[in-house]
Amino acid sequence: MTWHAPAAPGPVRGTVAVPGSKSITNRALVLAALADGGGTVTGALRSRDTDLMVAALRALGVPVEVDHTTVVVGAHAGFAGPADIDCGLAGTVMRFVPPMAALAKGEVRFDGDAHARTRPMGTVLDALRTLGASVDGDRLPFTLHGNGGLRGGAVTIDASASSQFVSALLLSGARYEQGVTVHHDGKPVPSMPHIEMTVGMVRAAGAAVDDSEPNTWRVAPSLLDSREWTVEPDLSNATVFLGAAAATGGRVTVPRWPASTTQAGDGIRAILAEMGCTVELSADGLIVTGPDRLSGIDVDLHDVSELTPTVAALATLASGPSRLRGVAHIRGHETDRLAALAAEINGLGGSAEETEDGLVIRPTPLHGGLWHAYADHRMATAGALVGLVVAGVEVDDIGCTSKTMPGFVDLWAELVGSRR
C-alpha cells in the first residue's frame, strides 16, 4: 500500500527527538560481544538493522537481553557455530559480523535480502582469508568455517567502495592473535567519519589503535573492556526533519545534538547554511530555520554520502541548480542511489542528471506522482521531504524506514501537524 506524503500548507515548526544512532549502536554491540565481560548499551536504536545485529550475536552464542533502548550483552565462553546469520539489508551486519564470527568454533552461514546479495563483500572476505580464515563464497550467501581463533596480521585492501570494509576489520582486530594492520590502497576511502567513529570506539574499549600513517590502521592484540556505551541521537536520520524546516521556511529543533561527534550526519549543518538556512547549535539542540527560498549548492559529499538523498530532495526545491559530487560509491548502497534519485526526481517532472560521481539537479516545477523507495530507507524519507512541498506525492514503501527508524511515519505526521 502506498503512503500519501503529507503536504505542508505552511512553514513546519516543531521539535523532533530522534532515536539513537544505528552506526554507534551496532558498533557498540559488536565491541560488547568481543569484550570478556560483555557490556551495556543505553539509548540504543531499536530498528530492523539493530535487531538483526542482536539476532546475529545470539546466533553465535552471546547472551543478549533487550529492554526497550537498553541492551545488556552478557559474558560468554566464546562464539560458536553452527549458526545462521540473517543480514537483511544491513551493511553493518553483513560487514561487521564476519570478522567477529571468524573467531567462532564451527560453521557460520550468512545470507540476507535479495538486494543484499548484490552488495560488495569480496573485500572483507578476501581480507579474512589473508588473515587466516576459511570462507566459501565471495558475496552473500557465504559460509565461514571457524576454528575458535584467527591469526590476524597485516592486510592490504581497496576500501574505496565502502568505509565499512576498514571498520569491519578494526572492530574485531584486537582479538586476533597478532592484532590487525589494515592498509588501504586505492581511490580515497569514502565516509571517513565512520572510520574515525570506529577508531574512537575501539580505543574506548581499551585497545591501542595507531592511525598516524595515512591509509593505514593498526590495532594491537588485547582484551577489550566491559563497559557501558551511551548512544547519541542518529544525526543522519535527523537530517530529513531539519530538511522539513529548510524546505518550508519553518523552524525545527533536534534536541541533544552533540557539540562534538564523529557522526557523518553532523555535516548537514554546513550544507543547510550554504543553502540559505539559519543554523544554531544551543543548549536546546540544533535549530534550523529555513529561508524564503533555498539556494542551489555545489558540494562534495564524499565523506557524508549518506546525506545525498536528503540534499538531493532539497536541491529539487531550490531556486538555482545544484551539483552533488564525490558519491560514486553510493551506487553500491541499499540500492543504486544515484540512479534511483535521478529516476524519481525526473518522474515527478524534475531535472536530475547522473554524472560519473554524483548528480546535477536543475529546479523545474514538480508534480505529484509515485515515488519509489527501492526498499531503501533514505530514498523513502527523501520522497517524504519532496512531498511536503509538492502535493500528491506517494511513496510506494514507507515501511522500509523501519530499517533505521521504525517510528518515522508517526514522527513525520506529528511534525507536519505541528505547523503554524
- Rounded to an integer, what distance in angstroms lies between the CA atom of residue 371 and that of residue 311? 16
* Segment holding 200, helix H or strand E: helix 192-204
Provide the pLDDT confidence category of residue 9 given band limits of 50, 70 and 90.
confident
CB 265 within 8 A of CB 304: yes
* Segment holding 15, helix H or strand E: strand 13-15
Q: Domain residue spans in the chain? A: 3-19+233-417, 22-217
CB 98 within 8 A of CB 168: yes
pLDDT at 58 over 80: yes
Provide the pLDDT confidence category of residue 100 given band limits of 50, 70 and 90.
very high
**183 assigned to a ligand binding site:** no
**337 assigned to a ligand binding site:** yes
Percent over 70 (pLDDT), the chain: 99
Task: Give residue-wise pLDDT tens across range 258-313.
Answer: 999 999 999 999 999 999 999 999 999 999 999 999 999 999 999 999 999 999 99
E strands, 208-284, where?
209-210, 216-219, 227-230, 251-254, 278-282
**164 assigned to a ligand binding site:** yes
**27 assigned to a ligand binding site:** yes
Instruction: Report the chain's mean pLDDT, rounded to a whole number.
Output: 96
CB 247 within 8 A of CB 389: yes
Which residues have CB under 8 Å from 180's CB, separation 6+?
131, 152, 153, 154, 155, 169, 170, 172, 173, 174, 218, 219
Residue 306 falls in the annotated catalytic set: yes
**22 assigned to a ligand binding site:** yes
pLDDT score recorded for residue 334: 83
In Å, how far from its chain's centre is CA 394?
24
Residues 38-56 have a mean pLDDT of 97
* Segment holding 347, helix H or strand E: helix 337-347
pLDDT score recorded for residue 333: 81
Helix (H, G, I), strand (E, B) or coil at 290: coil
Provide the pLDDT confidence category of residue 420 given band limits of 50, 70 and 90.
very low
- Rounded to an integer, what distance in angstroms lies between the CA atom of residue 31 and that of residue 208? 14
Provide the pLDDT confidence category of residue 45 given band limits of 50, 70 and 90.
very high
pLDDT score recorded for residue 403: 87
pLDDT score recorded for residue 419: 44
Sign for the CA dihedral angle at 398, 399, 400, 402 comes to positive
* Segment holding 193, helix H or strand E: helix 192-204
What cell was used for 109? 552461514
**351 assigned to a ligand binding site:** no
**163 assigned to a ligand binding site:** yes
Sign for the CA dihedral angle at 123, 402, 200, 173 comes to negative
Residues 238-250 have a mean pLDDT of 98
The angle at the Cα of 118, spanning 164 to 401, to the nearest 5 degrees, equals 70
Angle between helices 91-101 and 22-34 (to 10 degrees): 10
CB 237 within 8 A of CB 405: yes
Closest listed residue to residue 124, CA positions, set 106, 107, 110, 104: 110
CB 38 within 8 A of CB 229: no
**106 assigned to a ligand binding site:** no
Q: Is 155 left (phi over 0), alpha (psi -120 to 50) or beta?
A: beta
Pick the CATH number of 3-19+233-417 from 3.40.50.2300, 3.65.10.10, 3.40.50.300, 3.40.30.10: 3.65.10.10
Task: Give residue-wise pLDDT tens across range 302-349.
Answer: 999 999 999 999 999 999 999 999 999 999 888 899 999 999 999 999
**378 assigned to a ligand binding site:** yes
Task: Give residue-wise pLDDT tens across range 378-399.
Answer: 999 999 999 999 999 999 999 9
CB 267 within 8 A of CB 303: yes
Provide the pLDDT confidence category of residue 107 given band limits of 50, 70 and 90.
very high
Considering the domain 22-217, what is its CATH architecture? Alpha-beta prism (3.65)
Percent over 90 (pLDDT), the chain: 95
Are the folds of 3-19+233-417 and 22-217 the same? yes
Q: How far, in Å, are 8, 263, 277, 292 from residue 388 at the CA level?
A: 5, 26, 17, 15
Closest listed residue to residue 362, CA positions, set 354, 375, 353: 353
**263 assigned to a ligand binding site:** no
The angle at the Cα of 207, spanning 82 to 135, to the nearest 5 degrees, equals 30
**119 assigned to a ligand binding site:** yes
Residues 117-145 have a mean pLDDT of 96
Task: Identify the active-site residue in 232, 306, 334, 344.
Answer: 306
Provide the pLDDT confidence category of residue 418 given band limits of 50, 70 and 90.
low
pLDDT at 159 over 70: yes
- Rounded to an integer, what distance in angstroms lies between the CA atom of residue 100 and that of residue 92? 12
The angle at the Cα of 40, spanning 29 to 165, to the nearest 5 degrees, equals 20
Closest listed residue to residue 293, CA positions, set 11, 44, 101: 11
pLDDT at 228 over 80: yes
Task: Give residue-wise pLDDT tens across range 167-209.
Answer: 999 999 999 999 999 999 999 999 999 999 999 999 999 999 9
Closest listed residue to residue 401, CA positions, set 194, 191, 237: 237
